[in-house]
């Protein structure tokens, strides 16, 4: 049996080559030892850096925590950005009623003082300043109220407040109405303001600008014009008061003339389908005692509507129904309505300088004061816009008025209005 072995390898290395190789190995060995020492030093350095980094991170974390804690402890109080601003309007008027001399008058200078205490608190007061026929200056506060925005949906209002019976009283600045005279129902049978408190706000519906609005309030309620006669019937001829003794602008102080305050409110729906195209509907009312005895109620129900079709056309109106009890005459029932339409001629695209700045406006009023006087008033007028806030307004009013408190048959009014 035989085993085949590979041939034995043989190599011939000279002493010179062996020594050279040995030197190389020794040099490599010393190099490796040097690298090992550097590696150890690097490891130590890295460890030191890691330690320092950990300390730094700890310090940073502590600093952030302290900053957050300090911020959390800070009191989120009022922004203290007080601001005082004045807005309002002014009118100079020429009027000529049938059977009377025409004349100029400083019809009104009506500043509104706005004082903002912070982001949520505002005090606003509107004043009416004018000259009477004797050259005396009359200065009266048309409203003065404190507004506190409680949250996104509720604002608390208190003071001598504009009352949301319809919308005219709240949007009736002279440079907004396009016709100098107020609608008869708002001028004569509805109160413009009342002393009390109110909750109001708006609730958005969807993301198109649609909203529901609401107002709920309590006020002293109408007063009696003559304290000596109580709420007994007594004939007067005052066209600014809708009835004998009933004083819609009185009873503004404490104590109340009658035992209990009045309550009221408005609910509105506003639906815009695009800018300058919208419709608004509202229903409002108020009811409560009037007079000194408190055995009779004064109540009002108002429907209001407005529509805008394009930036040029607007139509709006109100229907008001009021009633109140008296000792001598039973229930008196003043009521009426008005509708107003206006059109800016710029919508015709005539590109004529004067025509482009004109707006035509018309209104129809009907009022039954419940005391035997019925009035129909037809108003046609125009507005010329010098600027967006400086207007010239002129209109002709024809009245068909019959009864003990009949009004003059016609009147011409020209007015310059400025809003600021």
Partner 1 sequence: MKLIQRKQRTVGWRATTLLGAAVIGLSLALAQAQPPAKSGGSKKPEPKKVRHDLTGEELYQINCNRCHSERYPTEFTAAQWQTIMLEMRVRANLPAEQSRKILEYLQQDSGN
Q: Which residues bind partner 1 (CB under 8 A)?
A: 81, 83-85, 87, 112, 114-116, 119, 122, 124, 147, 149, 151-153, 155, 157, 162, 170-171, 173, 175-176, 200-204, 207-209, 211, 213-215, 268, 272, 275-276, 278, 280, 306, 308-315, 339, 341-343, 347-348, 360, 362, 364, 376, 378, 380, 385, 388-389, 398, 400, 419
The smaller minimum CB distance to partner 1, of residues 63 and 355, is found at: 355
What's the closest the beta carbon of residue 143 comes to partner 1, in angstroms? 10
What's the closest the beta carbon of residue 340 comes to partner 1, in angstroms? 10
Work out whether the CA dihedral 22, 25, 30, 31 comes out positive or negative.
positive
The smaller minimum CB distance to partner 1, of residues 97 and 173, is found at: 173
What's the closest the beta carbon of residue 194 comes to partner 1, in angstroms? 16
CA 292 to chain centre: 36
What's the closest the beta carbon of residue 191 comes to partner 1, in angstroms? 17
The smaller minimum CB distance to partner 1, of residues 75 and 387, is found at: 387
Q: How far is CA 173 from CA 176, 379, 406, 420, in A?
A: 5, 19, 27, 11
- Who contacts 143 (Cβ-Cβ below 8 Å, separation ≥6)? 124, 125, 126, 159, 160, 161, 162, 192, 193
For 203, counting Cβ atoms within 10 Å of its Cβ (0-12 exposed, 13-18 middle, 19+ buried), the class is exposed
Total residues found in the chain within this entry: 420
DSSP per-residue letters across 39-52: HHHHHHHHHHHHHH
| 3-state DSSP assignment of residue 176 | coil
CA 307 to chain centre: 19
The smaller minimum CB distance to partner 1, of residues 203 and 355, is found at: 203
Q: How far is CA 397 from CA 105, 174, 261, in A?
A: 18, 17, 38
What's the closest the beta carbon of residue 323 comes to partner 1, in angstroms? 26
The smaller minimum CB distance to partner 1, of residues 233 and 392, is found at: 392
What's the closest the beta carbon of residue 268 comes to partner 1, in angstroms? 7
The smaller minimum CB distance to partner 1, of residues 232 and 341, is found at: 341
What's the closest the beta carbon of residue 388 comes to partner 1, in angstroms? 4
Say whether the peptide bond before residue 70 is cis (omega within 30 degrees of 0): no
The smaller minimum CB distance to partner 1, of residues 209 and 325, is found at: 209
The smaller minimum CB distance to partner 1, of residues 92 and 390, is found at: 390
The beta-carbon contacts of 26-34 under 8 Å, at least 24 apart in sequence, are: none
- Who contacts 17 (Cβ-Cβ below 8 Å, separation ≥6)? none
DSSP per-residue letters across 65-125: HHHHHHHHHS--------EEEEEEEEEEEEEEETTS--EEEEEEEEEEEEEE-SSSEEEEE
What's the closest the beta carbon of residue 221 comes to partner 1, in angstroms? 23
What's the closest the beta carbon of residue 260 comes to partner 1, in angstroms? 27
What's the closest the beta carbon of residue 239 comes to partner 1, in angstroms? 20
| 3-state DSSP assignment of residue 11 | coil
Strands 390-402 and 374-385: antiparallel
The smaller minimum CB distance to partner 1, of residues 185 and 241, is found at: 185
Token pair of 163, please? 């009352």
DSSP per-residue letters across 320-348: EEEEEEETTTEEE--EEEEEEEEEEGGGG
Strands 335-344 and 330-332: unpaired
What's the closest the beta carbon of residue 278 comes to partner 1, in angstroms? 6
The smaller minimum CB distance to partner 1, of residues 256 and 340, is found at: 340
The smaller minimum CB distance to partner 1, of residues 313 and 323, is found at: 313
Q: Are 322 and 298 in contact (CB under 8 A)?
A: yes
């Amino acid at each position: 049996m035989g085993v085949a072995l590979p041939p034995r390898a043989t190599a011939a290395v000279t002493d010179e080559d062996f020594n050279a190789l040995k030197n190389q190995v020794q040099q490599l060995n010393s190099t490796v030892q040097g690298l090992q020492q550097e590696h150890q030093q690097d490891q130590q350095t890295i460890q030191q850096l890691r330690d320092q980094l950990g300390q730094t991170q700890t310090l940073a974390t502590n600093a952030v925590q302290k900053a957050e804690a300090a911020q959390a402890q800070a009191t989120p109080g009022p922004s203290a950005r007080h601001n005082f601003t004045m807005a309002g309007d002014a009118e100079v008027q020429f009027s000529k009623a049938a059977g009377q001399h025409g004349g100029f008058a400083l019809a009104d200078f009506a500043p509104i003082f706005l004082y903002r205490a912070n982001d949520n608190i505002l005090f606003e007061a509107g004043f009416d300043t004018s000259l009477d026929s004797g050259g005396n200056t009359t200065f009266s506060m048309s409203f003065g109220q404190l507004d506190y925005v409680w949250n996104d949906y509720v604002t608390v209002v208190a003071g001598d407040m504009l009352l949301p019976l319809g919308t005219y009283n709240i949007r009736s600045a002279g440079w907004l109405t396009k016709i100098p005279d107020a609608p008869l129902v708002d001028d004569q049978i509805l109160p413009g303001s009342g002393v009390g408190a109110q909750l109001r706000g708006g609730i958005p519906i969807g993301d198109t600008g649609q909203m529901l609005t609401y107002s709920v309030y309590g006020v002293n309620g109408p007063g009696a014009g003559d304290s000596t006669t109580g709420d007994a019937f007594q004939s007067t001829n005052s066209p600014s008061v809708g009835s004998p003794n009933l004083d819609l602008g009185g009873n503004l102080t404490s104590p109340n003339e009658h035992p209990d305050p009045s309550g009221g409110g408005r609910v509105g729906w506003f639906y815009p389908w695009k800018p300058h195209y919208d419709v608004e509907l509202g229903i409002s009312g108020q009811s409560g005692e009037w007079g000194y005895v408190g055995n009779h109620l004064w109540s009002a129900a108002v429907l209001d509507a407005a529509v805008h079709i394009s930036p040029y056309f607007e139509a709006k109106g109100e229907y008001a129904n009021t009633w109140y009890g008296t000792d001598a005459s039973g229930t008196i029932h003043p009521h009426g309505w008005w509708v107003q339409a206006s059109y800016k001629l710029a919508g015709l695209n005539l590109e004529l300088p004067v025509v482009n700045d004109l707006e035509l406006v018309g209104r129809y009023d009907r009022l039954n004061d419940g005391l035997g006087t019925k009035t129909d008033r037809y108003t046609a007028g125009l507005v010329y816009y010098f600027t967006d806030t400086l207007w010239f307004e002129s209109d002709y009013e024809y009245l068909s008025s019959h009864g003990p408190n009949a009004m003059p048959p016609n009147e011409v009014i020209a007015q310059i209005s400025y809003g600021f």
